Amino acid sequence: MTQATQKKAILSIEHVAVHFGGLVAISDMTFDVKEGELLSLIGPNGAGKTTAFNVVTGFLRPTKGEVHFRGIPLHKLKPHEIASTGLVRTFQKTSLFTTNTVFENVLTGLHRHGNASSWATLLALPSMKREEAQLREKVWEILDFIGIAHRANELGGSLPYGEQRLLGVAVALAADPSMLLLDEPAAGMNPSETADFMALLAKIRKRGISILLVEHDMPLVMGVSDRIVVLNYGKIIANGTPAEIQANPEVIQAYLGQGVKHAAA
Amino acid sequence: MKNVWTIIILAVLLTVPLWLTDQYYLHIVITTGIFIVGAMSLNLLLGYTGQLSLGHIAFFGIGAYASALTSLGFNIPVFWSDEFRIIVEPSHPALGILIGTALAGLCGYIVGKLSFKIRGAYFVIVTVSFAEVVRLVALNWVDLTQGPLALSNIPPAGYNLPLLGEATFWAKTPNYYLVLALALLSYVLIRRIVHSRMGRAMIALRENESLATSIGIDVTRYLVFAAVMSAALAGAAGALYAHYIRIIDPDIFLFIYTVTMVIMVVTGGKGTLAGPIVGGIIFGILPVGLRTVAGPEVQWIVYGIAMILIVFFLPRGIVPAVVDWWYRRTGKAPTHTRTQPPSQDSGDGKTGSNWNGAASEAMLTSKALSRD
């Protein structure tokens, strides 16, 4: 995907810093995601990856710096307003409407598609009924796309863990994103589920959705990413293609410690 | 099948005054009906957005006082001097009921806005405080509310329409139909809300607020909407109560009435449409059955025990337990089924399902087909 690097940035993060009191979670972070690109954000535990996610999606305010999505400054918007710009996230901890069925989860996710007014709802106008029927159609399309249509009538919370993660992605996709932020989507998946998930990522990208991925599963990251940004102690230590990152001595040191150099030598 | 049940239930409800000739029992049915509307309105907040309004009776009382004062008229000094007075002439009770409903809805809006970031325990505290403030105002603003002396001689509801002529609801039967009309209206409105996109947004707030905001749901907006609807319906119930009982005093704001509504919702099954009705019938009729065998103190003990037993054995309430039992017995749970065959998604994003773009050709043709 070399042409992706020539495209313009869809998300740009400029000199973002996040301090929790005296603790510096992110000291200075600058990178951008190009249109259609899949960029992975990796780093050891506590490097600030999820903090970066929370800043971009408005769940945290940055101490310094700015975030722009398609030219819109995000740092003053509320989370639901950011989602309305087309930037939609998933959560690290499995996050579902657990007591609702899979179908209802996705139907709720389609919130942004509907625009029936309160009056149309209270008066049960035909326009509102038409909209409902269209939303229900859409739910099936998304469930087919993700491949969990056979689970439609089961409760979200009763699915096997891997499918719960998929449902999380389905709910996010229902919100009609132009960019998706996935926080450790493959955590807890077995190898065959991970392989399926890689295929799903490719399918999502074919729809022109840019992806920012935080993930610990290195084979997955190396396999799907156009570019990788490595965070350590709240600082970016590397930014490049998977091949460049794998060869970067600073990254190896951050992940494996000093000893490896000697062992390799 | 479902329609048959609807017709049977409606037929029973519409004929109650014909076969329930004992006026005392009819009175119980009317007051129970009023409280059921209160419980249904509470359920919209508690059951669907998950926020417990422990001052819900305030909206009921505001509706009652506003409607009573509109129909009685009042004459109060402004700025503590006799030179400036606000004088309101008595109006028709129907106008009072509308004003009571609107004012309660406005108060719901204010409480909803005040607590825009407040959830759970803090929402409870805001609503409890609100109810207490309103009770103190009703108790101490003697010029307006007569304080503990109560507002009495409130005119009964009625109508004065060009074609139907004039009527005043002195008897119990027309009051029963008035309450029934409000209950049916509340039921239909609440059902439309909770089965819509708005209702899904409310349930999303209840189930997982951060997920809800992450998919673009402005949860505060729907919480405020639910608070307005809930308060307005409670206010309407309060207004009918005032014109039916025809005397109200600040005791209407007592905490015990809110608790009664909460008990109705929780035991019946919060977050279900039928829950508050079932709970309301049980806790509205139970006192009548107990009256002949036990004094008021014993009654409260029996309520308490009944409530503990129901919550202990049926934690989600009576209605969900019965519904689950029915589905297990018949093996038929409601399911979402496709209205068109699964789309063939080859994964290239062009021929397959098209939820990300404009309506696909497949969707357009299926719509064209379903039209004829």
Mean pLDDT of B336-355: 55
Distance in angstroms (rounded) separating the CA atoms of residues A69 and A254: 30
- pLDDT tens-digit profile of A187-210? 888 889 899 999 999 999 999 999
What is the DSSP track for B242-291? HHHH--B-GGGG-HHHHHHHHHHHHHH-TTSSSHHHHHHHHHHHHHHHHH
Mean pLDDT of A100-109: 93
CA B225 to chain A, closest CA, distance in angstroms equals 9
- The beta strand positions in chain B, using DSSP E, are 74-78, 81-88, 158-161, 165-168
Tokens of B74: 């009042």
End-to-end CA gap in chain B: 27
Query: Any CB–CB contact under 8 A between A56 and chain B?
Result: no
* ipTM (interface predicted TM): 0.87
Which residues have CB under 8 Å from B202's CB, separation 6+? B44, B48, B49, B193, B194, B222, B223, B226
Distance in angstroms (rounded) separating the CA atoms of residues B101 and B40: 15
- Per the listing, tokens 């109060």 go with B76
State how far Cα A148 lies from the chain centre. Answer: 19
Identity (one letter) of the amino acid at B103? L
Contacts of A118 in chain B (CB under 8 A): 198, 225
Q: Do B349 and A207 touch (CB under 8 A)?
A: yes
pLDDT in the model for residue A34? 92
Q: Which 8-state DSSP code applies to residue B49?
A: I
- Per the listing, tokens 């349930």 go with B203
Position B365 pLDDT exceeds 70: no
pLDDT in the model for residue B161? 77
Is A54 within 8 Å of A62 (Cβ atoms)?
no
Distance in angstroms (rounded) separating the CA atoms of residues B220 and B51: 12
pLDDT in the model for residue A1? 44
Question: Could you tell me the fold of the domain covering A1-86+177-265?
Answer: Rossmann fold (3.40.50)
pLDDT in the model for residue B346? 44
Locate the domains of chain A by residue range.
1-86+177-265, 98-175
Ranges A237-246, B122-131, B156-165, B198-207: which has the least confidence: B156-165
Which of A42, A52, A24, A92 lies closest to A254, judged by CA? Answer: A42
Mean pLDDT of A68-72: 91
Ranges A102-111, B99-108, B124-133, B352-361: which has the least confidence: B352-361
Distance in angstroms (rounded) separating the CA atoms of residues B161 and A181: 61
Which residues have CB under 8 Å from B197's CB, separation 6+? A111, A114, A116, A121, A131, A132, A135
Query: Any CB–CB contact under 8 A between A258 and chain B?
Result: no
Nearest CB neighbour to B338, from listed A57, A118, A140: A140
Average pLDDT, chain B: 84
Identity (one letter) of the amino acid at A249? P
Position A259 pLDDT exceeds 80: no
Q: pTM of this prediction?
A: 0.86
Mean pLDDT of A76-80: 89
Highest mean pLDDT among A73-82, A231-240, B233-242: B233-242
pLDDT in the model for residue B279? 92
pLDDT in the model for residue A138? 92
Is B266 within 8 Å of B78 (Cβ atoms)?
no
If you measure CA to CA, which chain B residue comes closest to A102? B336
- pLDDT tens-digit profile of A170-186? 999 999 999 999 998 88
pLDDT in the model for residue A168? 92
Locate the domains of chain B by residue range.
23-255
pLDDT in the model for residue B349? 42
CA B214 to chain A, closest CA, distance in angstroms equals 6
pLDDT band with cut points at 50, 70 and 90 for residue A254:
confident
pLDDT in the model for residue B337? 80
Phi-psi region of B208 (alpha: psi -120 to 50; beta: other; left: phi over 0): beta
Q: Do B216 and A132 touch (CB under 8 A)?
A: no
pLDDT band with cut points at 50, 70 and 90 for residue B69:
very high
pLDDT in the model for residue B278? 93
Highest mean pLDDT among A122-126, A182-186, B101-105, B250-254: B101-105
Position B360 pLDDT exceeds 50: no
**Number of residues written out for chain B:** 372
State how far Cα A246 lies from the chain centre. Answer: 23
Q: Which 8-state DSSP code applies to residue A98?
A: T
State how far Cα A234 lies from the chain centre. Answer: 19
pLDDT band with cut points at 50, 70 and 90 for residue A115:
confident
Is A85 within 8 Å of A69 (Cβ atoms)?
yes
Position B199 pLDDT exceeds 90: yes
Position B273 pLDDT exceeds 90: yes
pLDDT band with cut points at 50, 70 and 90 for residue B164:
confident
pLDDT in the model for residue B303? 78
Query: Any CB–CB contact under 8 A between A130 and chain B?
Result: no
Which of A167, A184, A161 lies closest to A50, judged by CA? Answer: A184
Is A181 within 8 Å of A52 (Cβ atoms)?
no
